[in-house]
């Protein structure tokens, strides 16, 4: 069994909305409830912790009053702080961390990340990069596309190992750009890559909102 943390505390300023994008409705369904309901439908999901902005906590509670196995907490300044607060409410060995702005994750992807985490102590859902990627510093260098992956969520961690790496990161005031980054840096754990689906996109801007509406109509 695993616990899940779904992060809802981002500001979402690039979405062009006058409110948090997690409250955007697709076919009259709240964006964040898509992934939340998917997690809750997983046989191995024990509970979900929703990490919210303080001023939106009661609103989120009201919007999920019909759902079981939920806990709530307030997010921190940075993503890592929010994950820490969510982790404090988790008691399972494995914890999966997901962006609330990724509505179209699939049950089978979640389960594969869970199983990979049990095997490898860390796992990430990702898709292969198809574009040419270059690094531009003093020189212009093509990166080898064969080895490049676009990292998504959920990302799976062993709770005890994550807390250990988090403590080391806090001592150095280091903030990783993703959840397994701490495990890589401090514990030398290599996350297992779980191939995902490009439809598992993260809503960031106004174009993404139009895209998820299209995907919802296509699959509906």
Percent of the chain with pLDDT strictly greater than 70: 97
Task: Say how many domains are in the chain.
Answer: 1
pLDDT band at 79 (very low <50, low <70, confident <90, very high): very high
Give the per-residue pLDDT at 113: 98
Does the pLDDT at position 11 exceed 80? no
Q: What does the pLDDT read at residue 2?
A: 98
Structure tokens at 3: 């616990």
158, two tokens: 């062993």
Nearest to 3 by CA among 100, 131, 89: 89
Q: 130 pLDDT band (50/70/90 cuts)?
A: very high
Q: What is the mean pLDDT of residues 126-136?
A: 95
Half-sphere exposure of 193 (CA within 13 A, CB side): 11
Question: Among residues 75, 47, 50, which one has the least CA distance to residue 60?
Answer: 50
Query: Has residue 218 got a pLDDT over 80?
Result: no
Alpha carbon distance 70, 100 (integer Å): 14
Least Cα distance to 102 among 3, 177, 27, 198 occurs for 198
**Which domain, by its residues, includes 160?**
2-219
Q: Give strand pairing partners of 128.
A: 149
**Which alpha helices (H) appear in the chain, and where do they start and end?**
31-40, 57-63, 79-87, 107-120, 159-172, 181-187, 206-219
Q: What is residue 207's predicted lDDT score, i.e. its pLDDT?
A: 87
pTM of the model: 0.95
Domain CATH number, residue 54 = 3.90.550.10
pLDDT of residue 13: 66
pLDDT at 154 over 80: yes
Q: Which of 103, 83, 76 is nearest to 202 (CA)?
A: 103
């Amino acid at each position: 069994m695993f616990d899940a943390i779904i992060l809802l505390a981002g500001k979402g300023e690039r979405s062009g909305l006058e409110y948090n994008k997690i409250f955007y409705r697709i076919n009259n369904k709240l964006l964040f409830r898509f992934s939340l309901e998917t997690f809750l439908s997983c046989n191995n999901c024990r509970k979900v912790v929703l990490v919210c902005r303080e001023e939106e906590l009661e609103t989120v509670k009201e919007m999920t009053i019909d759902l079981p196995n939920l806990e709530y907490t307030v997010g921190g300044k940075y993503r890592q702080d929010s994950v820490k607060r969510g982790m404090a409410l988790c008691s399972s060995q494995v914890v999966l961390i997901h962006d609330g702005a990724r509505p179209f994750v699939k049950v089978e992807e979640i389960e594969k990340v869970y199983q990979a985490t049990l095997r490898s102590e860390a796992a990430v859902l990702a898709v292969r990069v198809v574009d040419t990627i270059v690094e531009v510093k003093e020189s212009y260098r093509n990166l080898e596309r064969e080895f490049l992956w676009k990292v998504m969520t959920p990302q799976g961690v062993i709770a005890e190992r994550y807390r250990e790496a988090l403590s080391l990161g806090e001592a150095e005031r280091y903030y990783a750009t993703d959840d397994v980054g701490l495990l890589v840096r401090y514990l030398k754990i290599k996350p297992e890559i779980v191939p995902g689906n490009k439809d598992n996109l993260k809503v960031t801007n106004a174009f993404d909102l139009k895209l998820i509406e299209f995907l919802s109509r296509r699959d509906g």
